[in-house]
Amino acid sequence: MTRPVRTRQRRKGRPVPSPLIGSFLLESITTGMYGERRNAIREYVQNSFDGIQQAIASKVLRAGAGRVSLTISSDRKDLIILDNGMGLPHRIAVNTLTAVGASRKERARQAGFRGIGRLAGIAFATTLRFRTKAAGDELETVVEFDCEALRRGMLDAGRKPAADLITDCTTFEQNPTSQPADHYFEVSLLGMRNAPAEATDPLQLGTFLSQVAPVDFHPDFMAFRERILREADEAETPFVEESYDPVDLLDGGDDLEPKADWSVLQDDAQTMLERVPMPHVGIVVRSGDPVTEHVIHKPYRSRLGVNDTDDVPLDDVSVHAGRTGAWWGWIGHKSKPGEYQDEAVGGIRFRLRNIQIDGSDLIASVPTTNQVRDPFARWSRWFMGEIHVDPRAVVPNARRDNFEEDPRWLAIREEVSAICEELTAEARRVSREYRTSIEVIDQKATKLREDYLAVVTAKNSVRIKRGKSSPTEINCIRTSKRLRMAPHLPSSFG
């Protein structure tokens, strides 16, 4: 019996001419890409981080020696971001820096991979300049974008091919250097106009970077840091059955829905910290005249303000990991109810390679897979913490404010939802216990007030009977009797 031969069906008709990719698309993926302009800074720091990690992997830079500096000029019109990462060889530098959406990076290995973030500064700079050199290269490459001309072209010439617009608004030069061993990448946002405050104010820049950048914990938090990393390193990577899907377990399964494929996580990692590490680089903000440096750390501290109390201790941290083996995280717990005063601290943040995805709002939306309203949104800022996700398991969306809704992300959401339910119950318990303790204290204070006033009244009654009280003392006695009926202690007992 002969086997049927499969033939590819021929397409009918003729191929279309090369499509026109207009400059309006360029606007969408540059000035129109990010909801907040400050996220352009995150994109550049992310690229610096990738360059440093690549330099360490290539033995060009020793582990722990990576550094990124962000310098705000004295007139606050320029922001310069410099790293000691791998840099770009002059042979590929110009093509790489002028390409759009054609990154050489691998999504599973590096934080940035779409090749559009490097142009984010076009939105508020007059000139965007890249300066780079690779180790062993004798030429330094400088590429400059005329941002004003680009913005005009994107608005006025929608029919003009995007590639032509970039060519018309970009220049480059390559010059010999006297230090062949040097390696670096520098981004200069020059002549900033209508820039985000984070690009011009060193304090706001530091606060922003402390949340989004891949930095280490503050020295004040080191005791908790050691415990977090130790427990993450003690958490073994789970064996995940091919059929495991937490979404199916909740809704009974649906054969028509695509299943999460966990084979992408197959590796030799023995612990969750080994599988999903928390890499960090040294980041400093430089500003002023003379220039001063401020080292950036994560915003967490052992004592922080909560509601109207300024010095509330962190009581404990707990480390969690999912059965999928795709994430691990830590949560900070306190006995004082209420939200953290510092918006940079409150909430649980998702991180990919220790770079924050969105802010504290993403965690509030996670448990709403099957619910219209979820109670955790009310309590999320009562806690601090981080969820570190394996980059092989998820795909961040282009704006990096969420993840693509694929089966693996939905499964991770279900696992994190269970943690959110536990935290909701904990917040309610802490609130209830605190109210109870206040009521007990108030009852004791009321009893103390009544006993005190009773003694004062009795003493002064005796003095009146003996005729030893002055009119002023008699008025005080009458006042004390009225106070016995008052709902609060006198000010001296408050």
Read off the pLDDT of residues 61-96 as tens digits, 9 standing for 90 and up: 999 999 999 999 999 999 999 999 999 999 999 999
Is-contact 381 318, C-beta < 8 A? Answer: no
Place of tokens 């937490």: 246
Over 80: is that where the pLDDT of 460 sits?
A: no
pTM > 0.95: no
Residue 413 backbone phi and psi in degrees, to 5? -60, -40
Instruction: Say yes or no to pLDDT of 474 above 70.
Output: no
Among 315-329, 371-385, 420-434, the least confident range: 371-385
Separation of alpha carbons 100 and 458, rounded Å: 88
pLDDT band at 282 (very low <50, low <70, confident <90, very high): very high
- pLDDT for 269 equals 96
Higher-confidence position of 266 and 368: 266
Top mean pLDDT of 260-269, 331-340, 485-494 is at 331-340
CA 43/CA 120 separation, integer angstroms: 8
Cis check for the bond before 279: say yes or no (omega within 30 of 0): no
Higher pLDDT, 266 or 448: 266
pLDDT score recorded for residue 351: 96
Asked whether the predicted pLDDT for residue 157 surpasses 70, the reply is no
Cα 138 to Cα 52, 182, 397: the distances in Å are 20, 9, 38
| Residue 47 pLDDT exceeds 90 | yes
pLDDT at 289 over 60: yes
Model pLDDT, residue 30:
65
What pairing do the DSSP bridges indicate for beta strands 67-72 and 282-287? Answer: parallel
Decide if 143 contacts 129 (C-beta within 8 A).
Answer: yes
434 close to 337: Cβ distance less than 8 angstroms: yes
Confidence of residue 435 (pLDDT cuts 50, 70, 90): confident
Instruction: Give the H or E element holding residue 224.
Output: helix 222-234
Q: Write down the pLDDT at residue 148.
A: 93
Mean pLDDT of 446-473: 69
Q: Count CA atoms within 13 Å of residue 361 on its CB side.
A: 4
189: three-class secondary structure by DSSP: strand
Q: CB neighbours of 141 closer than 8 A, spacing ≥ 6?
A: 88, 90, 93, 94, 97, 130, 131, 132, 133, 172, 173, 174
| C-alpha–C-alpha distance, residues 101 and 378, integer Å | 39
Residue with tokens 């999320």: 380
Strands 384-389 and 347-352: parallel
Q: What is the per-residue pLDDT for 190?
A: 98
- State the Cα–Cα distance between residues 282 and 65, nearest whole angstrom: 8
Q: Which range among 117-121, 153-157, 333-337 has the greatest average pLDDT?
A: 333-337
**b/e per residue 114-125 (b: at least 16 CB within 10 A):** bbbbbbbbbbbb
Region 479-489: what's the mean pLDDT?
53
Strand ranges (E), 219-315: 282-287, 292-295, 303-306, 309-313
- Residue 473 or residue 101, greater confidence: 101
What is the number of other CB atoms lying within 10 angstroms of the CB of residue 137?
Answer: 22
pLDDT at 277 (0 to 100) = 97
Q: How far is CA 452 from the centre of its chain?
A: 54
129 pLDDT more than 80: yes
- Residue 297 carries which side chain, given as an amino acid letter? H
Residue 110: band (very low, low, confident or very high) from pLDDT cuts 50, 70, 90: very low
Determine the pLDDT at residue 398: 76
Report whether pLDDT(232) > 90. Answer: yes
Reported confidence tier of residue 466, pLDDT bands at 50, 70, 90: low
What is the distance between the alpha carbons of residues 332 and 343, in angstroms, rounded to a whole number? 15
Question: What pLDDT is attached to residue 162?
Answer: 81
Other C-beta atoms within 10 Å of 58: how many? Answer: 11
**Does residue 196 register a pLDDT over 80?**
yes
Q: What is the mean pLDDT of the chain?
A: 85
Q: Which domains does the chain have, with CATH numbers?
A: 23-200 (3.30.565.10), 219-278+299-431 (no CATH), 435-493 (no CATH)
Residue 20: band (very low, low, confident or very high) from pLDDT cuts 50, 70, 90: low
C-alpha to C-alpha distances, 436 to 55, 184, 315, 430, nearest whole angstrom: 57, 59, 20, 10
Residue 482: burial class (beta carbons within 10 Å; 0-12, 13-18, 19+): exposed
**Mean pLDDT across the stretch 320-335?**
96
> Is residue 101's pLDDT more than 50?
yes
Q: Average pLDDT in the 395-401 region?
A: 82
Predicted pLDDT at 485: 52
> pLDDT value at position 258?
73
- The pLDDT assigned to 375 comes to 76
* Separation CA 366–CA 386 (nearest Å): 14
Reference 55, options 208, 181, 197, 165; nearest CA is: 181
pLDDT band for 493, please (50, 70, 90 cuts).
very low
pLDDT for res 447? 79
Q: What is the C-alpha separation between 112 and 333, in angstroms, rounded?
A: 33
Confidence of residue 366 (pLDDT cuts 50, 70, 90): confident
Q: What is the pLDDT of residue 400?
A: 80
